């Protein structure tokens, strides 16, 4: 019993890490641009598929393939902002939201056209699991790396936002864009950074997700639904909240299904049930602000 | 003349003209106040100086430099800072971070550090709040943060848009005393105010703006005793927009 518990907690932490990598971008984008980037999940798929192209189809080693895939995903993320979201930046947030939904469907269709509907694997190679604690815990190399990467990236992001001038400027613009202008802060630059960072994180999530599961055109939707729930759970716009919400959902899924409390067919519903409970108890989210933010 | 606005006609993006041929002047170490009813275009004057409107005619000269078509960034670097009306801080940032963002256009870290020290000396209260989220501060404290952000730039010209808005009378006096202090240290101040009597009484000169046009101007004393100003503006003490 305790053996399986350790394994389930580990699986939950890994899933939570991957959700968090997606949720962080969502929450940052919402914070600065005030809309939900519905196509953010598709950036996960772009990261995974481009990695597969470099690593499996072109036989590049893992590291260069990963770097190339991350780079391409970042460029695409920044371009999407410049081409589709920047022109409607001063409009009602409903407009970028609708554009994002359109982009999400469009990118899914594109992946379907290019790679077909079949499930693909990210690598031909299969990796041995490591065994810890006298076999109580089995962890694949990609699980271990995903968890370590996620934690390092979270700490890095936290330090970036709190300590660097650019990070503070991003928080400032998120907090009050028009006042940012009167002190010479560039909204364009901060937007570019946020979409770039968001894409970087999703690309990494996509690569690890590809190792953990398989590639399919809708893979972005599955994880982004969990990430949406995590973000709202933690309080949208909050970085700490997104991280906390992600691990909560990851652990809840793993434990509830693993211990047989919820049938595995209902896994997809778990984030929503948690979300609904949360909204009933504390609608502002776990890390919601008590004071009213002066957003403009 | 430190700031000279000549025949300024301006509006927003594709909208109608808001200001029509308006002129304002600010001399060195003056406090000049613009008064006028809501919607007259007072904030638009300050925003035009800051490159945040669509200027259709006229020119804005700072010192000997034409700043009419400069970017906000360049205007700040030319020595002008603005404290906006109302929501004029970053509520999710700490007081100290707000000050740092005020100095965003400064490059030297040491300079930012020194300026921060100066501002904390000028507003000692802010120092004890430095790590607090500015969003939870009182209205008066927030206004001090906002002015502190502008002071981080040691501006030659300080533009203040309704610094007394929403503040209790006692706090207004404190803020106005600080404004006089800033002038005494060498800055020139162009201020927009609804609280006409208090503002004019600390001003060297004033302008009345009505429907985007210059209606009256003169020394602070003269406007304070002008019957028309008295009837229209001095009866409405502390009115908020
Ligand atoms: N960003 C904007 N875009 C379009 N029109 C604007 C904008 N800001 C202000 N206006 C319009 O310009 C006119 C003048 O506004 P302004 O804010 O300059 O007035 P004000 O004298 O400062 O008023 P108040 O005392 O209420 O602050 C108003 O009709 C207003 O609707
Ligand atoms: Mg105004």
What is the three-class DSSP state of A234? helix
Shortest Cα–Cα distance, B208 to chain A (Å): 25
Yes or no, beta carbons of A294 and B76 under 8 Å apart: no
Mean pLDDT of all residues in chain A? 92
Fold entry, domain B1-79+157-162+189-241 = Rossmann fold (3.40.50)
Q: Which residue has the higher pLDDT, A287 or A52?
A: A52
CA distance readout (Å), B239 to B85, B146, B169, B215: 14, 21, 12, 20
Ligand 1 atom closest to Cα of residue B192: 22
Please give the average per-residue pLDDT across B170-191, as a whole number.
Answer: 95
pLDDT, residue A289, reads 62
B233 pLDDT higher than 80? no
Residues 179-238 of B with CB under 8 A from A: none
How many CB atoms sit inside 10 A of residue B240's CB? 12
In percent, the amount of chain B with pLDDT more than 90 equals 88
Sign of CA dihedral A284, A286, A288, A291: positive
The sheet with strand B205-210 has its strands ordered as B80-83, B157-161, B188-192, B31-35, B205-210, B213-219
Residue B92 with chain A: CB contacts under 8 Å? 171, 174-175, 289, 293
pLDDT, residue B157, reads 97
- Across the A/B interface, how many CB contacts are shorter than 8 Å? 72
Domain boundaries, chain B: 1-79+157-162+189-241
CA nearest neighbour of B156 among B24, B29, B49: B29
Q: Strand B188-192 relative to strand A130-132: parallel, antiparallel, unpaired?
A: unpaired
B232 pLDDT higher than 90? no
What is the three-class DSSP state of B161? strand
CA distance readout (Å), A168 to A188, B97, B210: 15, 7, 40
Yes or no, beta carbons of A181 and B76 under 8 Å apart: no
Phi, psi of B199 (to 5 degrees): -65, -45
Predicted confidence band at A204 (pLDDT cuts at 50, 70, 90)?
very high
Q: What are the pLDDT digits (tens) for B96-150? A: 999 999 999 999 999 999 999 999 999 999 999 999 999 999 999 999 999 999 9
Mutate to test the interface with A, among B101, B108, B109, B159 (most CBs of A within 10 A): B101
Contact B209, B36 (CB under 8 A): yes
Q: What are the pLDDT digits (tens) for A154-164? A: 999 999 999 99
- Termini Cα distance of chain A: 52
Q: Which residue has the higher pLDDT, A264 or A39?
A: A39
Residues 6+ apart with CB under 8 A from B117: none
Predicted confidence band at B240 (pLDDT cuts at 50, 70, 90)?
very low
CA dist., res. A180 & res. A85, Å (int): 19
pLDDT, residue A1, reads 55
pTM, rounded to two decimals? 0.91
Residue B93 with chain A: CB contacts under 8 Å? 168, 171-172, 175
Mean pLDDT of all residues in chain B? 93
Shortest Cα–Cα distance, B37 to chain A (Å): 23
pLDDT, residue A123, reads 81
Please give the average per-residue pLDDT across A50-55, as a whole number.
Answer: 96
CA distance readout (Å), B90 to A158, A294, B53, B147: 19, 8, 22, 13
Q: What is the Cβ-side half-sphere exposure of residue A109, based on CA atoms within 13 angstroms?
A: 6
């Amino acid at each position: 019993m305790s053996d399986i518990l350790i394994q389930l907690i580990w699986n939950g932490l890994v899933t939570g890490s991957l959700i968090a990598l997606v949720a962080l971008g969502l929450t940052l984008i919402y914070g600065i641009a005030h809309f939900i980037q519905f196509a953010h999940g598709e950036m996960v798929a772009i990261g995974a598929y481009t990695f597969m192209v470099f690593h499996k189809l072109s036989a590049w080693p893992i590291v260069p393939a990963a770097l190339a895939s991350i780079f391409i995903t970042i460029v695409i993320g920044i371009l999407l902002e410049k081409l589709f979201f920047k022109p409607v930046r001063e409009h009602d947030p409903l407009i970028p939201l609708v554009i994002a939904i359109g982009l999400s469907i469009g990118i899914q269709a594109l992946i379907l056209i290019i790679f077909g509907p079949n499930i693909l694997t990210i690598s031909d190679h299969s990796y041995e699991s490591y065994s810890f604690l006298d076999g109580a815990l089995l962890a694949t190399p990609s699980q271990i790396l995903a968890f370590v990467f996620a934690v390092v990236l979270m700490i890095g992001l936290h330090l970036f936002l709190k300590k660097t001038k650019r990070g503070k400027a991003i928080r400032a613009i998120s907090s009050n864009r028009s006042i940012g202008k009167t002190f010479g802060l560039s909204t364009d630059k901060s937007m570019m950074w946020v979409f770039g960072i968001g894409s970087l994180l999703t690309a990494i999530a996509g690569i690890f997700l590809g190792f953990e599961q398989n590639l399919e055109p809708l893979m972005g939707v599955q994880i982004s639904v969990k990430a949406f729930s995590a973000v709202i759970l933690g309080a949208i716009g909050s970085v700490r909240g997104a991280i906390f919400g992600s691990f909560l959902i990851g652990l809840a899924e793993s434990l509830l299904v693993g211990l047989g409390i919820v049938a595995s067919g209902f896994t997809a519903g778990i984030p929503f049930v948690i979300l609904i409970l949360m909204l009933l108890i504390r609608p502002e989210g776990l890390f919601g602000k008590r004071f009213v933010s002066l957003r403009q | 003349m430190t700031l000279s606005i000549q025949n300024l006609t301006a509006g927003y993006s594709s909208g109608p003209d808001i200001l029509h041929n308006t002129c304002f002047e600010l001399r060195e170490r003056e406090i000049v106040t613009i008064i006028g009813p809501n919607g007259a275009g007072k904030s638009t004057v300050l925003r035009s100086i800051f490159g945040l409107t669509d200027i259709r005619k006229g020119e804005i000269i700072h010192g000997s430099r034409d700043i009419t078509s400069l970017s906000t960034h360049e205007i700040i670097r030319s020595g002008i800072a603005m404290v906006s009306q109302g929501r004029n801080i970053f509520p999710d940032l700490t007081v100290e971070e707000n000050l740092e963002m005020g100095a965003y256009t400064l490059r030297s870290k040491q300079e930012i550090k020194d300026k921060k020290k100066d501002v904390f000396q000028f507003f000692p209260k802010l120092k004890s709040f430095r790590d607090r989220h500015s969003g939870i501060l009182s209205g008066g404290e927030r206004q001090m943060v906002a002015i502190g952000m502008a002071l981080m730039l040691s501006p030659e010209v300080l533009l203040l848009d309704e610094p007394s808005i929403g503040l209790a009378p006692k706090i207004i006096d404190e803020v106005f005393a600080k404004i006089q202090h800033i002038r005494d240290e060498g800055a020139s101040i162009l201020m927009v105010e609804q609280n006409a009597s208090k503002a004019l009484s600390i001003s060297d000169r004033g302008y009345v703006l009505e429907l985007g046009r210059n209606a009256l101007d003169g020394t602070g004393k003269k406007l304070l005793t002008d019957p028309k100003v008295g009837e229209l503006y001095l009866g409405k003490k502390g009115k908020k927009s």
